[in-house]
Amino acid sequence: MSLPILLTVDDDPAVSRSVARDLRRRYGQDYRVVRAGSGADALDALREIKLRGDAVAAILADYRMPNMDGITFLEQAMDLFPHARRALLTAYADTDAAIQAINVVDVDHYLLKPWDPPEEKLYPVVDALVEAWRVAGDRPVAETKVVGHRWSQPSYQVRDFLARNSVPYRWYSAGEPEAQRLLEAADATAADIPVLVTPDGTVLRKPSGEEIADAVGLSTRPAEAFYDLVVVGGGPAGLGAAVYGASEGLRTVLVERKATGGQAGQSSRIENYLGFPDGVSGAQLTDRARRQAQKFGAEVLTARDVVGLQARGSARVITFGDGTEIASHAVVLASGVSYRALEAEGVAELTGRGVYYGSASTEAPECENRHVYIVGGANSAGQAAVFFSRYARDVTLVVRGESLQASMSHYLIEQLEAIGNVHVRTHTTVTRAHGEEHLEQLTLCDGRGHFETVPASHLFVFIGAAPRTDWLGDTVVRDEHGFVRTGPDLLVDGRRPPGWPLERDPYHLESSIPGVFVAGDVRSQSVKRVASAVGEGAMAVTLVHRYLEAR
């Protein structure tokens, strides 16, 4: 079988020879390096490769080429080899073009020329490209089929679960001929919708998240009964704890109730995260972190709802919704937060039918040429506005406060100001959602008490943060808002919390139960940023080691 191909495209012969030479030096034993002098020549080469049945692992294309620039070329190359990873070669002056390429053709990386020394500036990028290609492969993607109603909360929940867990699926809207044929083949009826059919032919009717996870191959059951570390929650803090725990030799299992990534995983573009100058989507960051944790040996359990935590001697026991348990030496609580419910008439009835919490990226194609409303003034709302502006005719941010400056990063405010179809309405609240089968209108109230009813098909809500801690009850000390207190916040007049059994004070991220640590948004007084959540996840593992060594 022939070697997979690394294709380079550059109209400058010297640069073309240079990049091909550097690639052959590092990857020549495992990949065949092919170079082309123009976009047209490269497309001809790709067509020939396709006919021969060979695989293309990665494409490196120069941005500035006559007749066909790198972005245009990559758009067409994606039609031939959609699984090939893509990088753009740019001069420093063209970094704006690189950012555009990320949005237009989902470029994985951009490389600044010159890339000397290649060991520092070229090979790490290509390593990441070929590793991502090896994971996805260049084989046909087996799709799960979903038959559902367009305006149905259960159908939306199935699609959202699959999308957030990176499970390829094809959507069939009930009523269409192909959907009806699929229902007949599955021996199902409209009363069974949503219906899910896996690539191996398994049929699920009105499935739960755990049933879907089992059917599509996600891990839902722990391999062991006892671990060194259990991480509850798969957001940035939980993933950070899982990566550091597993990499440092702890038998680690991460438990997530829905999908890894948390709220950050739904972000269309995070642009202020250290080390990603061109930005990274929440899904990309989540996927990399999950693969990194699993590479080090961490287990990741999906669709498992944690309902209890107990200290039994030196063991810390986690109870699942089905009554089963796992135990460990230590626990990191990183269950994060959820968006608060929008208290407006009609919203609850229309949730999942035009009203959504979070970015709900699966709805983006349905927003084309429509007017979309987003409630919230923090970064998550701003990132959603940027994302949906590429689909919707108009996007309106509804903000209760007097401006965005108090709650949104400056870079994001500047981006929004530069997008022509994004509008901001301050001193405004949503008071009612109207619609029968789906959202049709919203009633808005401004700061002067004036009401206005506007047409709207989609409303995305990003307001406040409610910690996911109800399941803890009185097990650990929480503040008045439900966030878990840790470390110095547990001390009252220098006294340790009631029932604290040790002769030392709680460590910085330690809860009122020794050996149970807290990281990320769920922690009282935490900084609500992705970078700080990841940092706390890593710090929690350092404190876990300290706790285990001192026992």
Q: CATH no. for residue 39? A: 3.40.50.2300
Same domain, 332 and 481: yes
Same domain, 11 and 119: yes
Place of tokens 């939980």: 238
490-to-518, 521, 522 alpha-carbon distances in Å = 13, 17, 15
378-to-101, 161, 309, 313, 383 alpha-carbon distances in Å = 26, 25, 32, 43, 9
Domain stops at, among 197, 216, 235: 216
> Which residue stretches of the chain have pLDDT < 70?
1, 92-105, 136-142, 278
SS (H, E, C) 438-469: CCCEEEEEECCCCEEEEECCEEEECCCCEECC
Same domain, 353 and 329: no
Same domain, 9 and 116: yes
Bridge partners of residue 460, in order along the sequence = 356, 374
All residues at 6 or more sequence positions from 344 whose CB lies less than 8 Å from its CB, including other chains: 429, 430, 431, 432, 433
Domain stops at, among 86, 106, 136: 136
Domain stops at, among 461, 494, 521: 461
Assess if residue 221 is contained within a domain. Answer: no
Assess if residue 506 is contained within a domain. Answer: yes
Q: How far apart are CA 353 and CA 435, in angstroms?
A: 9
Same domain, 479 and 448: no
Residue by residue, DSSP assigns 63-81 as S--SSS-HHHHHHHHHHH-
Q: How far apart are CA 228 and CA 161, in angstroms?
A: 29
Reduced to 3 states, what is the DSSP secondary structure of residue 163? helix
Same domain, 375 and 312: no
Same domain, 11 and 130: yes
439, 356 contact by CB (below 8 A): no
For residue 243, give the CATH number of its domain. Answer: 3.50.50.60
Same domain, 118 and 158: no
331, 318 contact by CB (below 8 A): yes
Q: Which helix H or strand E contains 432, and what residues bound it?
A: strand 428-434
pLDDT at 111: 80
Same domain, 241 and 331: yes
Q: How far apart are CA 297 and CA 90, in angstroms?
A: 37
Same domain, 71 and 120: yes
Same domain, 130 and 148: no
Q: How far apart are CA 14 and CA 10, in angstroms?
A: 9
Assess if residue 515 is contained within a domain. Answer: yes
Same domain, 21 and 69: yes
Assess if residue 66 is contained within a domain. Answer: yes
How many residues does this entry show for the chain?
Answer: 551
Assess if residue 263 is contained within a domain. Answer: yes
pLDDT at 92: 59
70-to-44, 64, 74, 89, 123 alpha-carbon distances in Å = 15, 7, 6, 8, 20
Q: How far apart are CA 445 and CA 452, in angstroms?
A: 6
Q: How far apart are CA 376 and CA 97, in angstroms?
A: 30
Q: Which domain holds residue 190?
A: 144-216
pLDDT at 1: 57
Q: How far apart are CA 20 and CA 531, in angstroms?
A: 36
For residue 185, give the CATH number of its domain. Answer: 3.40.30.10
Question: Could you count the other beta carbons within 10 Å of the beta carbon of residue 106?
Answer: 13
pTM of the model: 0.76
The domain total for the chain is: 4
Helices (H), 58-176: 70-80, 95-105, 118-121, 123-136, 153-164
Place of tokens 């049933």: 211
**Residue from 101, 114, 105, 54 nearest 77 by CA:** 105
